[in-house]
Structure 1
Amino acid sequence: MFGFAKKKKAARLIELEAPLKGKMLTLEEVPDPAFSSGTMGKGRAILPSEGKVTAPCPGTVVHIMEKSKHALLLEHETGIQMLIHVGIETVSLKGEGFHPCVSAGDKVSTGQTLLEFDLEVIANAGLSPITPIIIPDGQDLIESVEFTDDTASRASGPFICILLRNQ
């Protein structure tokens, strides 16, 4: 009526830092078909060089595995969620060697320590410390998910880039 054009909101890019130091792997390299098949979502994995998980972006801790403490779900301020799962079959440790530094509901900033874990405890149990970082399927806000190449150092810039749909 007045000639006002509807403004279309631009797509947003979310850049996630690597939540651990170590060597980046593709999901296909993860020795667990639940992750390597991609059925849980897109992602990458890191073979950690130290036992510390930090927030890859500002957000809210949605969930921490209460008894096993080996995995957590983090939500970016846009509502996009990501799963950080320390180790393969580490649920069997029943929390031994895992020390959460945050609780569900906590607001976190990029680089803040979320979880500390003992690489030696994982190795002594004969388990792999490979840590998948998954962007779960079914999140309608996501247009695409892209990954950086072969390093996973917190100082190297974005680890995963998520392009959000126009809203």
Structure 2
Amino acid sequence: MIWKWKNNKSSNASEAISVASPLTGTCVSLAEVPDEAFAQGLMGPGAAVIPTAGRLVAPIDGTVVHLIKSHHAVMIEHSSGLQLLLHVGINTVSLKGQGFAPRVQTGDRVTVGQTLIDFDLNEIASAGYPVITPVLVANAAEQPWEMQPVYGSKEAGQGSIMKITLAK
């Protein structure tokens, strides 16, 4: 699959980025997300993880460029310019931060496996929200790149859920 992506570097070589799993659970296709905007890729291409534990970790080294006020989502930018949006659950903005404990703030540098947000899986599910978590390329609009999802069982901070090759 070819998408467009913003590149801040000036080089003709391609760069491969392995996106580690941000959660312990099962990586699945975005098509399995019970929200049309995510499932159809309208929010950006990517994959989703059905978590079995309430700890979201950094899937790449980078900078937190945005922590959503309700703490249910965070965006990280890799040094190449690639931005990933990690969105815990579906419609969880309605919880207004309840059940979410951020461990980072906008501007923080993070490394793969570093805890970004702790959250209560039971509280989210009890409130009636799906816990499936989309992991999206947020800035898929400006330069060619390829993405290959890697589905299956994953541990947080390990096991790639996507391999992204940036064409420069």
1:30 aligns with 2:27: no
Structure 1 partner of 2:5? none
Inter-CA distance 46–135: structure 2 relative to 1 (3 Å threshold): same
Task: State the percentage of identical aligned residues.
Answer: 43
CA distance in 1 between partners of 2:52 and 2:112 (Å): 19
Structure 2 partner of 1:152? 154
Runs of 4+ in 1 over 6 A off after TM superposition: none
Q: What is the 5 A alignment of 1:1-167?
A: 9-66=12-69, 68-154=70-156, 157-166=159-168
CA distance in 2 between partners of 1:86 and 1:148 (Å): 19
Provide the TM-score with structure 1 as the length reference. Answer: 0.89
Question: Alignment length, in residue pairs?
Answer: 158
CA distance in 2 between partners of 1:139 and 1:108 (Å): 24
Shift of 1:127: 1.0
Structure 2's unaligned 5+ residue stretches are 1-10
Higher relative CO (Cα under 8 Å, sequence separation at least 6) belongs to 2
Shift of 1:34: 1.2
Shift of 1:10: 1.8
Greater Cα offset, 126-135 or 138-147:
138-147
Inter-CA distance 17–31: structure 2 relative to 1 (3 Å threshold): same
Shift of 1:49: 0.4
Provide the TM-score with structure 2 as the length reference. Answer: 0.88
CA distance in 1 between partners of 2:79 and 2:114 (Å): 16
Structure 1's unaligned 5+ residue stretches are 1-7
Residue identity matched to 1:114: L
Q: Cα deviation per residue 1:4-27 (whole Å; 9 max; x = unaligned)?
A: xxxx73211011100000011211
